[in-house]
Chains A and B, each alone.
Chain A
Amino acid sequence: AEAASPWDCRQEAGGKWVCAGAEPAMPAAMPAPAATPAPPGPSTPSATGAAPARERPAPAREPAPEPAARPSAGGRDEGAAAPAVARRTPPPLRPASTAVATADAGPGGRDPWALCAVSSAPGTFRPGSAASTSDLPIEVSADRVRSTQDGEDRLEGEVRLTQGDRHLQASQVTVWRAENRFEAEGGVRYSEPGFAVAAERARLRLDERTGELEQASYELPGLHASGRAERAELRSGDVVVLKEATYTTCDPGRPDWELSAGEVKLDPATGRGEARQVKVDFKDVPIFYWPYLSFPIDDKRHTGFLVPTFGTSEATGLDLSVPYYINLAPSYDATLTPRLMSRRGLQVQGEFRYLLEGQGGQVTAEVLPHDNEFGDHRELLSYQHQGVFAPGWSTDVDLNYVSDEQYFRDLGNGINLTSTTHLDRRADLRYDSTYWSVLGRAQSFQTVDETLGPDERPYDRMPQLLFRGALPEIAGTLRTSLRAEYTRFDHESLVTGQRVDLEPGLSLPLAGAAWFLTPSAKYRYTGYSLDDPDGVYPDSTTRALPVLSLDGGLFFERPLAWDGGDYTQTLEPRLYYLYVPNENQDDIPVFDSAALDFSFEQLFRDNRFSGRDRVGDANQLTLALTSRVLDNADGRERLRAGLGSVFYFSDREVGLETGAPAEDSGTSDLVGEVDYRLSDAWYARGGLQWNTDENDMRRGTLQFHYQPDNRRILNLAYRLRKDIDETLEQTDASLLWPLNPNWSVVGRWNYSIEDRRTLDAFAGFEYGSCCWALRLVARHYVNDLDEESNNALYLQLELKGLTRVGNSISNLLEHGILGYSVNPDDPTTW
């Protein structure tokens, strides 16, 4: 995260300093020169040779994960396109190690270093300009100066050399002018903006820019880091070698954690750092050891080990992952991760990512050759590809395979994985023109739910061809549309078949400032060719129905002074009449239809079923009223409330299942919804579905979300849904709340009122010190019908500026607490 630290300076060949992020400026005021003798010795260059941290000795620092570089970011679940990728030239891929932390603060976006003192120990750190100081004169002061005949100058007592912002201080400095070499002894302190070091002894050759420091302790304020080294060698080519070095981002006086290494080598030419015998101590307890680490020290990507992670969980036991990152080319890379689980065995995970102009994808594979607990080998294979590959042409591919149905429950984590019942295997090819599009799709599913029988598994669509189009408007307003589809449905045990569905439509949207009226007519023709092993369904059948509707509304408005602002309140009555004749559809199997949820939107739809296998008969009129409150300042909707109901003029005969009784009520349930968003900090939503015949609430939701900043989140929700076969009534409360600058609490309680059972509950705390954070969460949850509730304990230790150690607690928190984000300020998610 500190890649663009204002002190990211380096010296060019000519001795000029180039700093990223900081405007070069001349120092405003020179330190008061107590120049007793005239400057002896070397005129140029100056003491800048003593900069062993031209390259930041930041062991084990990794580039921040960059979700935007993942071509399917955010789209893996939903198959959404990744437009940002399509527009740009490929951004650099980054190691996709979710386990590797950035120096970010975790939740809250607070300053992660709020409590750390840095400039305490060596040198005098003077924040100021990092200007080109090499041209400046060197001010020298010393108590005594002695020059010998063989070109040796000896400065003694309170020796100070100052050049701009650079300071060298020692009790004794010997300068060999001819060799351009000097040696400083006794309380050597050197500082420049962004770097300070103290050493017992420093020997430097200025022309070669080589040298060594003994008993050095350094400080890097830009990284909030400090450390020591028994010996620091400056070798040619700006290579820095540190022996017996330490590194911490804690207060130097009191390092709660410290990384130490027998040897650290930083080579700016290759952009690599290497560390040997790496050990991490936390509170003086060794928690990690690794014999060799290779890490990047610049923004380039390099092959090498990423920071290992470990943790424990009930399902896996001790869990250690050591990711190895392979940089293959600027636009593709791979990560290979051995993962050792004490209860299960050794798993190998591999991920290959690529990014092309406008498209990208990834391949993921996990292999566990022998699971000791499960007694067999287990694999996961996954491939995603998305993007536009030629003007108008796009693809979206999502292929997934796991070896067994318990895979995610045993080896995954987080509700989103454990509640997975089906894995998608889908390939879409699409062409878009200005007025029409064609989609070709092949889709099947892997069912990963052992409770589903063969007849309960979904149909494959092998293939689906879909055309959607519209002609340019005729006579200004007349709109045409055509939807045409061919699909072949395949299944192991159920009736299979091919379906052709044609839906031409005409509509005439008429509108004025205060009204709109849209008559529309569609014709739906559907033909089936069926193959039923049981002989229940005919070999072929057709259905042809007109769908007629008339949609109209008025807009009233009035000014509203409310809550100190100028608003406009609208009142929008709307009428929607729908007519569809009844046709018996019992000889048509249900391939891709389901009953649509009754909702405010449903009041204005022309079918009460999704998919193409059922066309609901209708002779009905919807009456609805919407009111909005719009902010005159920016046009945003602050409040929206809607209420509506459908009046049926005939019974609804068509049902999803054969022989389902007709629905004969004269009116629908009353539906209402309220959406109130006063500011960006909070919103409230409510929904209601009320059965007026039985005076019964069929559906009710109330949701409240408060998030004034990333540290404070409060969510409250109540949900009620009464379906024919099942009632769902739940409360869900979650929060993240700071108690003081160090302590925060996290928690969630999702309770089923219907089952009188807690579905998912966790509680815990986050402790954040200035250089480390600890998260401890206890969880009690349901993950299977037959099993008892599970308990788990999650522990995560984050050493800021170094790594995160532990299992995926963030996954749990992000899914459990709406609004929670481990990297809330990460701009790359867009």
Chain B
Amino acid sequence: CGFQLRGSQPLPAALVAVDLQVPPGEPDLQRDLRRALEARGTRVAEEAGASTLRILGARYDRRILSIGPDGKVREYELRYEVRFALQPAGAEERAPVRSVTVLRDYSYSELRVLGKDEERDLLRTEMRREAVNRIVNQLSH
């Protein structure tokens, strides 16, 4: 029905070399982004002619998704949003700010506080990786 194996796509010029600027409070995001970019063949370095990928902010929110009849939390929703802008070298115009948002939900029990905290941390790691993949996908487009 028209599906074909994906062909190899050349790296866009703006992604050949990238100066990655991530706020110092986000070392995990920095590591994941660097790895994902390098996996695409991008040189991550401050060098002449490199584009600048600025991460303007990354934010986690947690909200209560459902409560039980006893008024206690049964499910949480996690939301992770990253705002970024890729400024090609020498471009006059300021690059538009883009964002990706990843949503997840998980059940909660006040009887498993640490276990559910561990699950939340795992989800946060996965959400960050998905956000990174989506950022790199958008940029390679």
Contacts and interface: CB of A to CB of B under 8 A. Distances in A.
Interface of A: 74-75, 77-78, 80-87, 358, 386-388, 391-392, 394, 415-416, 418-419, 421-422, 432, 434, 437, 445, 449, 451-452, 456, 458-459, 461, 509, 511-515, 554-559, 569-571, 590-597, 601, 605, 609-611, 630, 632, 634-637, 685, 701, 719, 721, 723, 726, 728, 730, 732, 750, 752, 755, 757, 759-760, 782-785, 815, 818, 830
B96 to A, nearest CB: 10
Nearest to B1: A558
Centre residue among A87, A726, A760 by max chain B CB count within 10 A: A87
Contact of A556 (B3, B65, B116): B3
A416 B71 CA distance: 10
A177 to B, nearest CB: 56
Given A597-B107, A610-B118, A728-B74, A415 B67 contact: yes
A421 B66 contact: no
15 contacts: A80-B60, A82-B25, A83-B23, A386-B25, A419-B73, A456-B111, A458-B114, A513-B6, A594-B118, A596-B122, A632-B141, A634-B141, A635-B137, A635-B141, A782-B69
A593 B118 CA distance: 8
Given A87-B24, A394-B25, A760-B67, A422 B138 contact: no
Given A81-B26, A84-B57, A728 B3 contact: no
Using C-beta atoms within 8 Å of the partner chain, give the interface range for chain B: 35 or more
Centre residue among A78, A513, A559 by max chain B CB count within 10 A: A78
Given A80-B58, A509-B39, A760-B67, 5 more contacts: A418-B71, A570-B6, A634-B141, A685-B103, A752-B69
Contacts of A830: 56-57, 59, 83
B42 interface: no
B85 interface: no
Contacts of A558: 1-4
B23 A84 contact: yes
Centre residue among B5, B70, B106, B123 by max chain A CB count within 10 A: B70
Given A82-B25, A86-B24, A610-B119, A449 B72 contact: yes
Interface string B37-81: 001000000000000000111111111111111111111000000
Contacts of B70: 451, 782, 784-785
Given A421-B110, A685-B103, A87 B23 contact: yes
Contacts of B110: 421-422, 449, 452, 456
Contact of B7 (A513, A515, A818): A513
Contacts, number: 199
A591 B115 CA distance: 8
Contacts of A452: 110-111
Nearest to B9: A513
Contacts of A593: 115, 118
Given A459-B114, A555-B5, A558-B4, A728 B66 contact: yes
Contacts of B74: 721, 728
A782 B71 contact: yes
B115 A592 contact: yes
Contact of A419 (B39, B71, B107, B115): B71
B113 interface: yes
B107 A784 contact: no
Complex A-B, nearest 4 residue pairs according to Cβ-Cβ distance, in ascending order: A594-B115, A635-B141, A83-B23, A785-B70
A554 B72 contact: no
Contacts of B104: 601
Contacts of B22: 83
B108 to A, nearest CB: 9
Nearest to A633: B141
A635 B140 contact: yes
A78 B64 CA distance: 12
A755 B65 CA distance: 17
A608 to B, nearest CB: 11
A595 to B, nearest CB: 8
Nearest to B59: A74
Contacts of A461: 114
Nearest to B114: A592
B55 to A, nearest CB: 7
B94 interface: no
A386 B24 CA distance: 12
B124 to A, nearest CB: 8
A78 B61 contact: yes
B8 A513 contact: yes
A76 to B, nearest CB: 10
Nearest to A555: B6
B25 A387 contact: yes
Given A74-B60, A782-B71, A556 B4 contact: yes
Contacts of B109: 594
Given A421-B110, A730-B66, A815-B63, A86 B119 contact: no
B14 interface: no
Given A84-B57, A601-B126, A636-B138, A759 B72 contact: no
A723 B107 contact: yes
Nearest to B140: A635
A643 B61 CA distance: 27
B4 A458 contact: no
A726 B8 CA distance: 49
Contact of A635 (B3, B5, B111, B138): B138
Given A358-B24, A592-B114, A634-B138, A755 B6 contact: no
Given A394-B25, A554-B5, A421 B59 contact: no
A515 B8 CA distance: 11
A81 B25 contact: yes
Given A83-B57, A86-B24, A784-B71, A556 B64 contact: no
